[in-house]
Amino acid sequence: MNSTHKIHVEGLNLFYGDNQALYDIGLDMPANSITALIGPSGCGKSTFLRTLNRMNDLIDSVRITGKVLVEGTDIYAPDTDVVSLRKRVGMVFQRPNPFPMSIYDNIAYGPRIHGIKKKAQLDEIVERSLKQAALWDEAKDRLNKSALGLSGGQQQRLCIARLLAVEPDVLLMDEPTSALDPISTLKVEELTGQLKERYTIIIVTHNMQQAARISDTTAFFLNGVLVEASDTEKMFQTPSDKRTEDYITGRFG
Amino acid sequence: MNKTHSKLTDRVATLYFWLSGILIVGILAWFLFDILSKGLPNISWKFITGMPSEVAAGGGVAPMLFNSFYILFLSLVVSLPIGVGAGIYLAVYAKKNKFTDLIRLSVEALASVPSIVFGLFGALLFVSWFGWKISIISGAATLSLLNLPVLVRVTEESLRTVPASYWEASLALGSSRWQAIRKVLLPSALPGLITGITLVAGRALGETAVLIYTAGTASSRAFPDFGLKEMGSTLAVHLWYSGSSSLAPDADQIAKGSAALLILIVLIFNLAIALPGRIISKRHNGGN
Protein backbone atom coordinates (compact mmCIF):
# COMPACT_ATOMS: atom_id res chain seq x y z
CA MET A 1 0.00 0.00 0.00
CA ASN A 2 1.23 3.44 -0.92
CA SER A 3 1.80 5.58 2.15
CA THR A 4 0.41 8.74 0.57
CA HIS A 5 -2.96 7.03 0.27
CA LYS A 6 -5.17 8.25 3.06
CA ILE A 7 -7.92 5.76 2.34
CA HIS A 8 -7.51 2.35 0.77
CA VAL A 9 -10.56 0.32 -0.20
CA GLU A 10 -10.32 -3.29 -1.27
CA GLY A 11 -12.94 -5.87 -2.29
CA LEU A 12 -15.81 -3.86 -0.84
CA ASN A 13 -19.30 -5.33 -1.27
CA LEU A 14 -22.43 -3.80 0.21
CA PHE A 15 -25.90 -5.29 0.50
CA TYR A 16 -29.24 -3.76 1.44
CA GLY A 17 -30.95 -6.90 2.67
CA ASP A 18 -30.77 -9.21 -0.35
CA ASN A 19 -29.94 -6.50 -2.87
CA GLN A 20 -26.32 -5.91 -3.63
CA ALA A 21 -25.55 -2.21 -4.10
CA LEU A 22 -21.76 -2.22 -4.40
CA TYR A 23 -19.66 -4.87 -6.17
CA ASP A 24 -16.03 -5.53 -5.30
CA ILE A 25 -14.92 -1.90 -5.11
CA GLY A 26 -11.19 -1.18 -4.93
CA LEU A 27 -10.03 2.43 -4.75
CA ASP A 28 -7.15 4.46 -3.30
CA MET A 29 -7.77 8.02 -2.23
CA PRO A 30 -4.61 10.09 -1.89
CA ALA A 31 -3.99 12.49 1.02
CA ASN A 32 -4.31 16.26 0.58
CA SER A 33 -6.18 16.00 -2.66
CA ILE A 34 -9.74 15.95 -3.90
CA THR A 35 -11.23 12.70 -5.14
CA ALA A 36 -14.50 13.10 -7.05
CA LEU A 37 -17.02 10.27 -7.25
CA ILE A 38 -19.23 10.61 -10.32
CA GLY A 39 -21.93 8.51 -11.93
CA PRO A 40 -25.67 8.53 -12.67
CA SER A 41 -28.32 8.49 -9.92
CA GLY A 42 -28.49 5.21 -8.05
CA CYS A 43 -25.02 4.08 -9.16
CA GLY A 44 -23.85 3.66 -5.57
CA LYS A 45 -21.51 6.63 -5.27
CA SER A 46 -23.25 8.10 -2.22
CA THR A 47 -23.57 4.66 -0.66
CA PHE A 48 -19.84 4.19 -1.20
CA LEU A 49 -19.09 7.56 0.39
CA ARG A 50 -21.12 6.62 3.44
CA THR A 51 -19.15 3.43 3.95
CA LEU A 52 -16.06 5.58 4.59
CA ASN A 53 -17.33 6.90 7.94
CA ARG A 54 -19.76 4.05 8.58
CA MET A 55 -22.88 6.19 8.23
CA ASN A 56 -24.51 3.14 6.62
CA ASP A 57 -24.47 1.57 10.08
CA LEU A 58 -27.60 3.64 10.77
CA ILE A 59 -29.55 1.47 8.34
CA ASP A 60 -30.50 -1.85 9.92
CA SER A 61 -30.43 -4.06 6.84
CA VAL A 62 -26.99 -3.08 5.52
CA ARG A 63 -24.26 -5.72 5.36
CA ILE A 64 -20.72 -5.00 4.26
CA THR A 65 -17.80 -7.22 3.31
CA GLY A 66 -14.30 -6.22 2.29
CA LYS A 67 -11.74 -3.81 3.65
CA VAL A 68 -11.72 -0.04 4.18
CA LEU A 69 -8.40 1.18 5.56
CA VAL A 70 -8.10 4.73 6.86
CA GLU A 71 -4.41 5.45 7.44
CA GLY A 72 -3.78 1.73 7.44
CA THR A 73 -6.44 0.83 10.02
CA ASP A 74 -9.42 -1.29 9.04
CA ILE A 75 -12.48 0.73 10.08
CA TYR A 76 -14.71 -2.35 9.91
CA ALA A 77 -12.57 -4.27 12.39
CA PRO A 78 -14.70 -5.38 15.37
CA ASP A 79 -12.85 -3.21 17.88
CA THR A 80 -13.33 0.01 15.88
CA ASP A 81 -14.61 2.99 17.85
CA VAL A 82 -17.17 4.40 15.39
CA VAL A 83 -17.51 7.66 17.31
CA SER A 84 -13.82 8.49 17.08
CA LEU A 85 -13.76 7.33 13.44
CA ARG A 86 -16.45 9.88 12.60
CA LYS A 87 -14.51 12.55 14.40
CA ARG A 88 -11.60 11.87 12.03
CA VAL A 89 -13.70 11.28 8.92
CA GLY A 90 -16.34 13.98 8.85
CA MET A 91 -19.23 14.48 6.50
CA VAL A 92 -21.07 17.30 4.73
CA PHE A 93 -24.52 16.35 3.47
CA GLN A 94 -26.46 17.04 0.33
CA ARG A 95 -28.91 19.39 2.00
CA PRO A 96 -27.50 21.90 4.45
CA ASN A 97 -28.51 20.61 7.89
CA PRO A 98 -27.61 23.16 10.55
CA PHE A 99 -29.02 22.48 14.00
CA PRO A 100 -31.85 24.76 15.14
CA MET A 101 -29.44 26.70 17.32
CA SER A 102 -27.41 29.87 17.05
CA ILE A 103 -24.51 30.05 14.58
CA TYR A 104 -22.09 30.00 17.48
CA ASP A 105 -23.68 26.93 19.09
CA ASN A 106 -23.69 25.08 15.77
CA ILE A 107 -19.92 25.50 15.39
CA ALA A 108 -19.25 24.87 19.07
CA TYR A 109 -21.39 21.71 19.07
CA GLY A 110 -18.61 19.35 17.96
CA PRO A 111 -15.87 20.77 20.20
CA ARG A 112 -18.28 20.75 23.15
CA ILE A 113 -19.24 17.09 22.74
CA HIS A 114 -15.56 16.29 22.53
CA GLY A 115 -14.99 17.93 25.88
CA ILE A 116 -13.93 21.54 25.25
CA LYS A 117 -15.71 23.79 27.75
CA LYS A 118 -13.61 26.96 28.09
CA LYS A 119 -15.35 29.95 26.53
CA ALA A 120 -12.12 31.54 25.29
CA GLN A 121 -11.06 28.34 23.54
CA LEU A 122 -14.52 27.87 21.98
CA ASP A 123 -14.53 31.51 20.80
CA GLU A 124 -11.21 30.90 19.14
CA ILE A 125 -12.41 27.67 17.43
CA VAL A 126 -15.63 29.31 16.22
CA GLU A 127 -13.75 32.23 14.69
CA ARG A 128 -11.09 30.04 13.09
CA SER A 129 -13.62 27.57 11.65
CA LEU A 130 -15.85 30.30 10.23
CA LYS A 131 -12.80 31.96 8.66
CA GLN A 132 -11.68 28.65 7.13
CA ALA A 133 -15.17 28.17 5.70
CA ALA A 134 -15.16 31.74 4.34
CA LEU A 135 -18.21 32.64 6.38
CA TRP A 136 -16.67 34.81 9.10
CA ASP A 137 -17.31 38.18 7.44
CA GLU A 138 -20.96 37.38 6.85
CA ALA A 139 -21.58 35.78 10.23
CA LYS A 140 -19.40 37.63 12.74
CA ASP A 141 -22.09 40.16 13.70
CA ARG A 142 -24.82 37.58 14.12
CA LEU A 143 -23.14 34.70 15.93
CA ASN A 144 -25.96 34.50 18.44
CA LYS A 145 -28.71 34.52 15.83
CA SER A 146 -30.30 31.31 14.63
CA ALA A 147 -28.40 29.42 11.95
CA LEU A 148 -31.72 28.75 10.25
CA GLY A 149 -31.86 32.44 9.27
CA LEU A 150 -28.88 32.04 6.94
CA SER A 151 -29.29 31.51 3.20
CA GLY A 152 -28.87 27.99 1.78
CA GLY A 153 -25.32 28.66 0.60
CA GLN A 154 -24.38 30.21 3.92
CA GLN A 155 -25.94 27.26 5.74
CA GLN A 156 -23.84 24.81 3.74
CA ARG A 157 -20.65 26.75 4.51
CA LEU A 158 -21.79 26.78 8.14
CA CYS A 159 -22.03 22.98 8.02
CA ILE A 160 -18.51 22.86 6.60
CA ALA A 161 -17.32 25.19 9.38
CA ARG A 162 -19.10 23.03 11.95
CA LEU A 163 -17.22 20.04 10.60
CA LEU A 164 -13.84 21.83 10.50
CA ALA A 165 -14.32 22.74 14.16
CA VAL A 166 -13.82 19.10 15.16
CA GLU A 167 -10.56 19.03 13.14
CA PRO A 168 -11.11 15.92 11.04
CA ASP A 169 -8.49 14.52 8.65
CA VAL A 170 -10.90 13.57 5.91
CA LEU A 171 -13.93 15.50 4.61
CA LEU A 172 -16.64 13.49 2.90
CA MET A 173 -18.97 15.67 0.84
CA ASP A 174 -22.19 14.21 -0.50
CA GLU A 175 -23.25 16.47 -3.39
CA PRO A 176 -22.66 19.52 -1.21
CA THR A 177 -23.74 22.05 -3.84
CA SER A 178 -26.74 20.31 -5.37
CA ALA A 179 -29.20 22.39 -3.30
CA LEU A 180 -27.33 25.67 -3.89
CA ASP A 181 -27.51 28.47 -6.43
CA PRO A 182 -24.59 29.01 -8.87
CA ILE A 183 -22.89 31.76 -6.84
CA SER A 184 -23.03 29.76 -3.61
CA THR A 185 -21.82 26.72 -5.55
CA LEU A 186 -18.81 28.67 -6.75
CA LYS A 187 -18.01 29.76 -3.20
CA VAL A 188 -18.17 26.19 -1.89
CA GLU A 189 -15.98 25.01 -4.79
CA GLU A 190 -13.37 27.69 -4.08
CA LEU A 191 -13.50 26.67 -0.46
CA THR A 192 -12.84 22.98 -1.18
CA GLY A 193 -9.84 24.04 -3.30
CA GLN A 194 -8.39 25.87 -0.32
CA LEU A 195 -9.22 23.11 2.13
CA LYS A 196 -7.40 20.33 0.29
CA GLU A 197 -4.07 21.72 1.45
CA ARG A 198 -4.93 20.57 4.94
CA TYR A 199 -7.54 17.88 4.42
CA THR A 200 -8.24 14.86 2.28
CA ILE A 201 -11.51 15.47 0.47
CA ILE A 202 -13.84 12.96 -1.15
CA ILE A 203 -16.72 14.57 -2.98
CA VAL A 204 -19.76 13.00 -4.62
CA THR A 205 -21.07 15.11 -7.45
CA HIS A 206 -23.68 14.96 -10.17
CA ASN A 207 -22.03 17.78 -11.96
CA MET A 208 -19.20 16.66 -14.26
CA GLN A 209 -17.92 20.19 -14.80
CA GLN A 210 -17.60 20.44 -11.06
CA ALA A 211 -15.61 17.21 -10.88
CA ALA A 212 -13.37 18.43 -13.71
CA ARG A 213 -12.90 21.86 -12.10
CA ILE A 214 -12.02 20.88 -8.56
CA SER A 215 -10.84 17.29 -8.31
CA ASP A 216 -7.43 15.67 -8.70
CA THR A 217 -8.69 12.11 -9.01
CA THR A 218 -12.04 10.99 -10.40
CA ALA A 219 -13.79 7.67 -9.94
CA PHE A 220 -16.72 6.70 -12.17
CA PHE A 221 -19.41 4.43 -10.73
CA LEU A 222 -22.11 2.63 -12.70
CA ASN A 223 -24.70 0.21 -11.30
CA GLY A 224 -22.68 -0.44 -8.16
CA VAL A 225 -19.45 -1.10 -10.01
CA LEU A 226 -16.38 1.12 -10.06
CA VAL A 227 -15.79 1.37 -13.82
CA GLU A 228 -12.74 3.53 -13.86
CA ALA A 229 -10.63 5.67 -11.54
CA SER A 230 -7.76 7.85 -12.58
CA ASP A 231 -6.23 11.28 -12.69
CA THR A 232 -9.07 13.72 -13.38
CA GLU A 233 -7.44 15.33 -16.40
CA LYS A 234 -6.74 11.96 -17.97
CA MET A 235 -10.23 10.70 -17.22
CA PHE A 236 -11.92 13.63 -18.91
CA GLN A 237 -9.58 13.73 -21.91
CA THR A 238 -8.83 10.10 -22.62
CA PRO A 239 -11.15 7.82 -20.67
CA SER A 240 -10.06 4.22 -21.02
CA ASP A 241 -13.51 2.67 -20.76
CA LYS A 242 -16.25 3.17 -23.34
CA ARG A 243 -18.93 3.56 -20.64
CA THR A 244 -16.96 6.37 -18.98
CA GLU A 245 -16.65 8.14 -22.28
CA ASP A 246 -20.37 7.79 -22.95
CA TYR A 247 -21.21 9.20 -19.54
CA ILE A 248 -18.86 12.18 -19.52
CA THR A 249 -19.83 13.15 -23.04
CA GLY A 250 -23.46 13.14 -21.92
CA ARG A 251 -24.64 10.18 -23.94
CA PHE A 252 -26.50 8.81 -20.89
CA GLY A 253 -27.11 9.58 -17.21
CA MET B 1 -71.20 18.56 -13.90
CA ASN B 2 -71.89 22.17 -14.79
CA LYS B 3 -70.20 25.18 -13.29
CA THR B 4 -73.05 26.62 -11.25
CA HIS B 5 -73.66 23.25 -9.68
CA SER B 6 -70.06 22.81 -8.53
CA LYS B 7 -70.07 26.38 -7.22
CA LEU B 8 -73.17 25.64 -5.19
CA THR B 9 -71.67 22.42 -3.79
CA ASP B 10 -68.58 24.34 -2.81
CA ARG B 11 -70.69 26.93 -0.96
CA VAL B 12 -72.69 24.29 0.87
CA ALA B 13 -69.48 22.50 1.89
CA THR B 14 -67.89 25.73 3.10
CA LEU B 15 -71.00 26.58 5.10
CA TYR B 16 -71.05 23.10 6.62
CA PHE B 17 -67.40 23.25 7.75
CA TRP B 18 -67.90 26.76 9.06
CA LEU B 19 -70.95 25.73 11.04
CA SER B 20 -69.14 22.69 12.48
CA GLY B 21 -66.39 24.99 13.73
CA ILE B 22 -68.90 27.43 15.20
CA LEU B 23 -70.74 24.56 16.88
CA ILE B 24 -67.58 23.37 18.65
CA VAL B 25 -66.78 26.86 19.89
CA GLY B 26 -70.42 27.26 20.93
CA ILE B 27 -70.46 24.03 22.93
CA LEU B 28 -67.25 24.99 24.71
CA ALA B 29 -68.48 28.50 25.49
CA TRP B 30 -71.81 27.22 26.79
CA PHE B 31 -70.09 24.57 28.87
CA LEU B 32 -67.65 27.04 30.43
CA PHE B 33 -70.38 29.59 31.06
CA ASP B 34 -72.64 27.01 32.70
CA ILE B 35 -69.97 25.49 34.95
CA LEU B 36 -68.41 28.80 35.93
CA SER B 37 -71.65 30.71 36.46
CA LYS B 38 -72.99 28.00 38.75
CA GLY B 39 -69.66 27.29 40.43
CA LEU B 40 -67.90 30.62 40.87
CA PRO B 41 -70.45 32.03 43.40
CA ASN B 42 -69.62 29.05 45.62
CA ILE B 43 -65.88 29.66 45.51
CA SER B 44 -64.56 31.77 48.32
CA TRP B 45 -61.27 32.00 50.14
CA LYS B 46 -62.84 29.95 52.91
CA PHE B 47 -63.89 27.27 50.40
CA ILE B 48 -60.39 27.02 48.92
CA THR B 49 -58.51 27.02 52.22
CA GLY B 50 -61.06 25.34 54.49
CA MET B 51 -61.23 21.73 55.68
CA PRO B 52 -64.00 19.53 54.33
CA SER B 53 -67.01 18.80 56.47
CA GLU B 54 -68.82 15.49 56.41
CA VAL B 55 -72.19 16.49 57.82
CA ALA B 56 -72.23 20.26 58.43
CA ALA B 57 -72.50 22.91 55.76
CA GLY B 58 -69.63 25.19 54.77
CA GLY B 59 -66.92 22.59 54.16
CA GLY B 60 -63.82 23.53 52.16
CA VAL B 61 -61.59 21.69 49.73
CA ALA B 62 -58.06 22.60 50.87
CA PRO B 63 -56.82 19.00 51.37
CA MET B 64 -58.36 17.87 48.07
CA LEU B 65 -56.65 20.66 46.22
CA PHE B 66 -53.38 19.71 47.85
CA ASN B 67 -53.90 15.98 47.18
CA SER B 68 -54.66 16.62 43.50
CA PHE B 69 -51.25 18.16 42.96
CA TYR B 70 -49.44 15.86 45.37
CA ILE B 71 -50.74 12.72 43.63
CA LEU B 72 -50.12 14.24 40.20
CA PHE B 73 -46.56 15.09 41.22
CA LEU B 74 -45.86 11.62 42.64
CA SER B 75 -47.36 9.86 39.62
CA LEU B 76 -45.25 11.95 37.22
CA VAL B 77 -42.11 11.27 39.27
CA VAL B 78 -42.70 7.57 38.52
CA SER B 79 -44.16 7.68 35.02
CA LEU B 80 -42.14 10.47 33.37
CA PRO B 81 -38.69 8.81 33.47
CA ILE B 82 -40.08 5.41 32.42
CA GLY B 83 -42.46 6.78 29.78
CA VAL B 84 -39.94 9.17 28.23
CA GLY B 85 -37.27 6.49 28.38
CA ALA B 86 -39.43 3.93 26.59
CA GLY B 87 -40.45 6.59 24.04
CA ILE B 88 -36.81 7.40 23.30
CA TYR B 89 -36.06 3.70 22.97
CA LEU B 90 -38.87 3.20 20.47
CA ALA B 91 -38.07 6.32 18.46
CA VAL B 92 -34.28 6.02 18.33
CA TYR B 93 -32.81 2.72 19.42
CA ALA B 94 -35.42 0.13 18.59
CA LYS B 95 -34.83 -1.89 15.46
CA LYS B 96 -37.86 -3.10 13.61
CA ASN B 97 -38.43 -6.62 14.90
CA LYS B 98 -40.95 -8.76 16.78
CA PHE B 99 -39.86 -7.47 20.18
CA THR B 100 -40.38 -3.78 19.36
CA ASP B 101 -43.66 -4.63 17.64
CA LEU B 102 -44.69 -6.27 20.89
CA ILE B 103 -43.72 -3.18 22.90
CA ARG B 104 -45.72 -0.94 20.59
CA LEU B 105 -48.71 -3.27 20.69
CA SER B 106 -48.55 -3.34 24.51
CA VAL B 107 -48.37 0.43 24.69
CA GLU B 108 -51.41 0.77 22.45
CA ALA B 109 -53.34 -1.88 24.36
CA LEU B 110 -52.54 -0.18 27.67
CA ALA B 111 -53.54 3.21 26.28
CA SER B 112 -56.98 1.92 25.38
CA VAL B 113 -57.76 0.28 28.75
CA PRO B 114 -60.66 2.12 30.48
CA SER B 115 -59.45 3.97 33.55
CA ILE B 116 -61.92 2.20 35.87
CA VAL B 117 -60.16 -1.06 34.99
CA PHE B 118 -56.84 0.48 35.96
CA GLY B 119 -58.53 1.54 39.17
CA LEU B 120 -59.59 -2.01 40.00
CA PHE B 121 -56.18 -3.33 39.01
CA GLY B 122 -54.52 -0.79 41.31
CA ALA B 123 -56.90 -1.72 44.09
CA LEU B 124 -55.92 -5.37 43.77
CA LEU B 125 -52.20 -4.83 43.27
CA PHE B 126 -51.18 -1.83 45.37
CA VAL B 127 -53.99 -1.61 47.92
CA SER B 128 -54.38 -5.30 48.76
CA TRP B 129 -51.37 -7.23 47.54
CA PHE B 130 -48.68 -4.65 48.35
CA GLY B 131 -50.64 -3.77 51.49
CA TRP B 132 -50.41 -0.03 50.84
CA LYS B 133 -54.12 0.36 51.81
CA ILE B 134 -56.28 3.02 50.19
CA SER B 135 -53.73 5.80 50.23
CA ILE B 136 -51.99 8.57 48.35
CA ILE B 137 -49.19 6.25 47.30
CA SER B 138 -51.61 3.62 45.95
CA GLY B 139 -53.45 6.32 44.00
CA ALA B 140 -50.27 7.82 42.60
CA ALA B 141 -48.90 4.43 41.58
CA THR B 142 -52.14 3.50 39.79
CA LEU B 143 -52.34 6.90 38.13
CA SER B 144 -48.79 6.50 36.82
CA LEU B 145 -49.85 3.22 35.17
CA LEU B 146 -52.61 5.16 33.41
CA ASN B 147 -50.19 7.90 32.31
CA LEU B 148 -47.40 5.63 31.21
CA PRO B 149 -48.63 4.48 27.78
CA VAL B 150 -49.68 7.99 26.80
CA LEU B 151 -46.28 9.37 27.80
CA VAL B 152 -44.53 6.70 25.74
CA ARG B 153 -46.52 7.62 22.65
CA VAL B 154 -46.18 11.36 23.16
CA THR B 155 -42.41 11.03 23.50
CA GLU B 156 -42.02 8.74 20.51
CA GLU B 157 -44.19 10.93 18.31
CA SER B 158 -42.54 14.21 19.24
CA LEU B 159 -39.08 12.68 18.65
CA ARG B 160 -40.19 11.43 15.25
CA THR B 161 -41.04 14.97 14.16
CA VAL B 162 -37.37 15.95 14.52
CA PRO B 163 -35.77 15.83 11.04
CA ALA B 164 -33.48 12.82 10.56
CA SER B 165 -30.85 15.19 9.19
CA TYR B 166 -30.19 16.55 12.71
CA TRP B 167 -29.53 13.05 13.92
CA GLU B 168 -27.17 12.31 11.01
CA ALA B 169 -25.39 15.64 11.39
CA SER B 170 -24.73 15.02 15.05
CA LEU B 171 -23.44 11.46 14.56
CA ALA B 172 -21.28 12.57 11.62
CA LEU B 173 -19.56 15.04 13.96
CA GLY B 174 -18.54 12.13 16.17
CA SER B 175 -21.23 12.42 18.84
CA SER B 176 -22.43 9.36 20.68
CA ARG B 177 -26.08 8.47 20.29
CA TRP B 178 -26.83 9.70 23.79
CA GLN B 179 -25.15 13.05 23.07
CA ALA B 180 -27.24 13.44 19.92
CA ILE B 181 -30.41 12.63 21.87
CA ARG B 182 -29.66 14.95 24.77
CA LYS B 183 -28.27 17.92 22.87
CA VAL B 184 -30.21 17.91 19.61
CA LEU B 185 -33.17 15.54 19.55
CA LEU B 186 -34.75 16.24 22.94
CA PRO B 187 -34.39 20.05 22.71
CA SER B 188 -35.92 20.01 19.23
CA ALA B 189 -38.73 17.76 20.39
CA LEU B 190 -39.33 19.84 23.52
CA PRO B 191 -42.38 21.83 22.35
CA GLY B 192 -44.21 18.63 21.38
CA LEU B 193 -43.10 16.90 24.57
CA ILE B 194 -44.30 19.76 26.75
CA THR B 195 -47.68 19.85 25.04
CA GLY B 196 -48.03 16.10 25.48
CA ILE B 197 -46.99 16.11 29.13
CA THR B 198 -49.39 19.00 29.81
CA LEU B 199 -52.25 17.01 28.30
CA VAL B 200 -51.32 13.96 30.37
CA ALA B 201 -51.12 16.05 33.53
CA GLY B 202 -54.41 17.80 32.77
CA ARG B 203 -56.12 14.46 32.32
CA ALA B 204 -54.54 13.16 35.52
CA LEU B 205 -55.83 16.21 37.46
CA GLY B 206 -59.36 15.39 36.36
CA GLU B 207 -59.09 11.62 36.81
CA THR B 208 -61.56 9.97 39.18
CA ALA B 209 -62.19 6.35 38.28
CA VAL B 210 -58.58 5.36 38.89
CA LEU B 211 -58.50 7.05 42.29
CA ILE B 212 -61.80 6.16 43.93
CA TYR B 213 -60.64 2.64 44.86
CA THR B 214 -57.00 3.50 45.36
CA ALA B 215 -56.66 6.95 46.94
CA GLY B 216 -60.11 6.98 48.48
CA THR B 217 -62.84 9.55 49.00
CA ALA B 218 -61.66 10.85 52.38
CA SER B 219 -58.63 12.87 53.32
CA SER B 220 -56.32 13.43 56.26
CA ARG B 221 -57.49 15.76 59.06
CA ALA B 222 -54.09 17.46 59.03
CA PHE B 223 -53.15 19.99 56.37
CA PRO B 224 -50.91 19.82 54.48
CA ASP B 225 -50.22 16.16 55.09
CA PHE B 226 -47.37 14.70 53.01
CA GLY B 227 -47.90 11.23 54.50
CA LEU B 228 -47.91 8.70 51.67
CA LYS B 229 -50.14 6.27 53.59
CA GLU B 230 -52.90 8.84 54.25
CA MET B 231 -56.16 8.66 52.32
CA GLY B 232 -55.98 11.14 49.50
CA SER B 233 -59.26 12.32 48.01
CA THR B 234 -58.53 14.68 45.11
CA LEU B 235 -60.64 17.59 43.92
CA ALA B 236 -62.09 15.56 41.05
CA VAL B 237 -62.96 12.65 43.34
CA HIS B 238 -64.44 15.09 45.86
CA LEU B 239 -66.59 16.52 43.10
CA TRP B 240 -67.91 13.06 42.32
CA TYR B 241 -68.37 12.27 46.01
CA SER B 242 -70.17 15.52 46.79
CA GLY B 243 -72.39 15.10 43.80
CA SER B 244 -73.33 11.50 44.63
CA SER B 245 -72.99 10.36 48.22
CA SER B 246 -72.03 13.23 50.54
CA LEU B 247 -74.26 13.86 53.56
CA ALA B 248 -73.39 17.56 53.81
CA PRO B 249 -76.47 19.74 53.28
CA ASP B 250 -74.58 22.00 50.85
CA ALA B 251 -73.09 19.07 48.89
CA ASP B 252 -74.60 20.38 45.68
CA GLN B 253 -72.92 23.78 46.03
CA ILE B 254 -69.64 22.08 46.96
CA ALA B 255 -69.84 19.95 43.82
CA LYS B 256 -70.50 23.00 41.63
CA GLY B 257 -67.75 24.99 43.30
CA SER B 258 -65.33 22.08 42.92
CA ALA B 259 -66.19 21.74 39.24
CA ALA B 260 -65.47 25.41 38.56
CA LEU B 261 -62.29 25.30 40.62
CA LEU B 262 -61.10 22.19 38.78
CA ILE B 263 -61.58 23.83 35.40
CA LEU B 264 -59.75 26.97 36.51
CA ILE B 265 -56.88 24.89 37.87
CA VAL B 266 -56.46 22.85 34.70
CA LEU B 267 -56.56 26.08 32.67
CA ILE B 268 -53.96 27.83 34.85
CA PHE B 269 -51.85 24.68 34.94
CA ASN B 270 -51.78 24.42 31.14
CA LEU B 271 -50.84 28.06 30.75
CA ALA B 272 -48.19 27.80 33.46
CA ILE B 273 -46.48 24.97 31.60
CA ALA B 274 -47.11 26.00 28.00
CA LEU B 275 -45.79 29.56 28.30
CA PRO B 276 -42.36 28.83 29.83
CA GLY B 277 -42.10 25.88 27.42
CA ARG B 278 -42.45 28.19 24.44
CA ILE B 279 -39.87 30.59 25.83
CA ILE B 280 -37.40 27.76 26.44
CA SER B 281 -37.78 26.34 22.94
CA LYS B 282 -37.45 29.81 21.42
CA ARG B 283 -34.23 30.37 23.29
CA HIS B 284 -32.95 27.00 22.13
CA ASN B 285 -33.68 27.90 18.52
CA GLY B 286 -31.36 30.87 18.79
CA GLY B 287 -34.13 33.41 19.22
CA ASN B 288 -35.25 33.47 15.66
CB distance B92 to B181 below 8 Å = yes
Q: Tell me whether B7 touches chain A (CB under 8 Å).
A: no
| Region B103-126 average pLDDT | 92
**pTM for the model:** 0.82
Nearest CB partner across the interface for B172, out of A86, A102, A144: A86
Q: What is the per-residue pLDDT for A100?
A: 92
The alpha carbons of chain A give a radius of gyration, in whole angstroms, of: 18
pLDDT at A151 over 60: yes
Q: What is the per-residue pLDDT for B284?
A: 62
Nearest CB partner across the interface for A99, out of B96, B184, B287: B184
Q: Which of B31, B62, B22, B20 is nearest to B267 (CA)?
A: B31
Q: Interface pTM (ipTM) of the complex?
A: 0.90
Distance between CA atoms of residues B20 and B14, nearest Å: 10
Q: Tell me whether A54 touches chain B (CB under 8 Å).
A: no
Strand A73-74 versus strand A200-204 pairing type? unpaired
The pLDDT mean for chain A works out to 92
Cβ atoms within 10 Å, residue A189: 17
Q: Tell me whether A9 touches chain B (CB under 8 Å).
A: no
- Reported as a single tens digit per residue, the pLDDT across A63-115 is 999 999 999 999 999 999 999 999 999 999 999 999 999 999 999 999 999 99
Q: What is the per-residue pLDDT for A2?
A: 46
Q: Which of A146, A204, A148, A154 is nearest to A180 (CA)?
A: A154
CB distance A113 to A175 below 8 Å = no
pLDDT range class, residue B142, cuts 50, 70, 90: very high
pLDDT at A210 over 90: yes
Least confident of A89-93, B66-70, B217-221: B217-221
pLDDT at A58 over 90: no
- Provide the 3-class DSSP secondary structure of residue A27: strand
pLDDT at B276 over 90: no
pLDDT range class, residue A1, cuts 50, 70, 90: very low
Distance between CA atoms of residues A40 and A241, nearest Å: 16
pLDDT range class, residue A253, cuts 50, 70, 90: low
pLDDT range class, residue B248, cuts 50, 70, 90: confident
Contact (CB<8Å) A99/B169: yes
- For A84, the closest chain B residue by CA position comes to B174
- For B93, the closest chain A residue by CA position comes to A58
Contact (CB<8Å) A113/B175: yes
Nearest CB partner across the interface for B176, out of A83, A88, A99: A83
Q: Could you tell me the CA-to-CA distances from B227 to A113, B68, B127, B219, B232 in Å, in that order?
A: 43, 14, 16, 11, 10
